Amino acid sequence: MPSARDWALTLLLRGQKADLFPDRMLWELYEKHPDIPSLDRAFIQQLLFGVYRWRAKIDWALEKCAHAPLKKLSFQTLSILRLGAFQLLLLDRVPASAAVNESVKLAKSGPEPWTGGLINGTLRALSRIQESLAFPTPDDLPGYLTITQSHPAWLANYWLDTLGPKETVSLCEADNQIPPLDLRVNTLKGSREELYPRLEREVGPMSPTPFSPVGLRFLRPQAPLHASGPYREGLYQIQDEASQLIAYLLHPRPGERVLDLCAGVGGKTTHLAQFLENRGSVLAVDSNPRKVRDLWKNALRLGIKNIRFRTGDFLQPDFFQKNQPAFDRILVDAPCSGWGVIRRHPDLKWRIRLEDSDRLAEQQIKFLQKAAEYLKPKGTLVYSTCTLCPIENEEVIGGSWPGTPNSSWIRWPLICRDRQGG
C-alpha cells in the first residue's frame, strides 16, 4: 500500500493536471481505497491542505536553499520539495530526518529519480537554517500578508484597500486556521439532544454550535464523520454552521413550494426540506449532473421525500414552461468566488482572480432577475454567497440589481461576522 506521503503527492499532481479540488479528490480516494488507515487519512489531508494553505511561505523558504529557481523545476519535483518543507517548517511532530529521507524516497520512486540529490540537498539546507529564518512580521505588512500568512498579493492589497489593515490581518490569519467540522442534525429523525451522546461515543468530544440550534461542532473528530453509524442512518448531514443559517433566513413552512437554485450537493436543500417536514416541495436545480446525483443520494440517506431534482441551466429561456406555478420561497445560492471559505478550501487562494468577480456578478444578477419572475407576491427570496467580495455582494444587492418595483431588500445583521463558516 502506498504511504500517506505517496498519496499526498499523487493528489497534488492530479489536482494540478486536471484542475481538481482537494476535498473532492480526498473523497474519491477514500471511496476507492476504503482500507487506507484512519491515521494515514489524517496525515494525507494534513499534507495536502498544508501545502495549499502555506504555499507562498513554503516557496519563500525554499528559495533560500534551492540551487535553482523554483520556477525552473518540474511540478513533480516542486511538489516533493513543498511536501518536505511543509513538514520541516510547520509539523513539529515529524522529525527532520523523516521529512528529508521520505521526500528523497518519493523522488527516487517516481518518474524523475535523478532529482533525489537536489531534493536531499535543498531540504537538508532548509533543516539547518529553519530556526534562523526571519519571516516578515506585521511591521512589514505586505510581506507579512503575502509570505508569512501566504496570501496572493492582489488579494491582500484588495482587502487592505477595502477593509483596512487591522481587519485584513485578522482575515488572513483566520484563513490559515484549521477549521472545525460542523454537522446538522436531521430533525426528521431525531433531535440534537438525542444524537449527542451516541455521536460522542462513536466520534469524540463535540459542542453545540453557537448560532445554529441544530448544529454540532467537532474540533478534532476521532473517527471519520461520513463513516459512522448515525451518518449511514441519515441522522445528520455534514454542513458548516454558516451554511445552516441560510435555511433559517428563508424559513419555509410545511406545505409551501420552494425553489433552490444552484443546489449543489444539497446541504441547504435538504435543510429546507427539513423545515417542510416532508410536506410541500423543494425543487432543487443545478447544472452539474454529478452534484444532482450526490444530492439525490443524500436525500435518500436522510429520508427526505419531498425534493424534486432538475439538471440544467436555469438561465435558459425554456427552462420552465410558460404555465410554471410561482414559488413561496426561493433561494439563490449563487456561484461565487468563494473568498469567505478560504480557511476550508485553501486552494482557492491560488485559483481566484479579481476579474472573476465581475463575470460572476453579471451571472448572479441574471439569476436574481429570472428567479424574481417566479416568486409569489409577498414571497421571500434569499440571496446568499460564500464570498467577501463586495462586487458580488453589496454591489449586486441594491446596486447593480435593486430588486423589483414591488420588493425590498432586508439586510441581515452581521452578528456572527467573526465566526465565518469557511
pLDDT in tens, 358-403: 999 999 999 999 999 999 999 999 999 999 999 999 899 876 566 6
Catalytic residue selected from 65, 172, 336, 386: 386
Q: Is the dihedral of CA 139, 144, 149, 154 positive or negative?
A: positive
Average predicted confidence (pLDDT) for the chain: 93
Q: Are residues 393 and 266 in the same domain?
A: yes
DSSP 113: G
**What whole-number percentage of the chain has pLDDT above 70?**
95
Residue 112: Cβ within 10 Å count: 15
DSSP three-state, residue 76: helix
Number of structural domains, the chain?
Answer: 4
Q: What is the CATH number of the domain that holds 81?
A: 1.10.940.10
Give, for 260, the enclosing helix (H) or strand (E). strand 257-261
How does pLDDT run across 243-299, given as a tens digit for each residue? 999 999 999 999 999 999 999 999 999 999 999 998 999 999 999 999 999 999 999
How does pLDDT run across 161-217, given as a tens digit for each residue? 999 999 999 999 999 999 999 999 999 999 999 999 999 999 999 999 999 999 999
With CA atoms as reference, report the closest residue to 221 among 232, 206, 242, 241. Answer: 206
Take residue 100 and report the three cell numbers written for it: 528529508
What are the φ/ψ torsions at residue 283 (nearest 5 degrees)? Answer: -95, 115
User: What's the whole-model pTM score?
Assistant: 0.91
Take residue 285 and report the three cell numbers written for it: 436545480
CA-to-CA distance for 64 and 148, rounded, in angstroms? 15
Q: Is residue 135 part of a domain?
A: no
Tell me, what's the pLDDT at 67?
86
Range 136-145 average pLDDT:
97
- Which residue type sits at 258? V
pLDDT confidence tier of residue 421, bands split at 50, 70 and 90: very low
Q: Which domain holds residue 227?
A: 181-238
Q: Are residues 11 and 71 in the same domain?
A: yes
Q: Is residue 405 part of a domain?
A: no
Take residue 361 and report the three cell numbers written for it: 456578478
pLDDT confidence tier of residue 418, bands split at 50, 70 and 90: very low
Q: Is residue 411 part of a domain?
A: no
Q: Would residue 336 show up in a list of annotated catalytic residues for this protein?
A: no
Q: Do 47 and 58 meet the contact criterion of CB atoms below 8 Å apart?
A: no
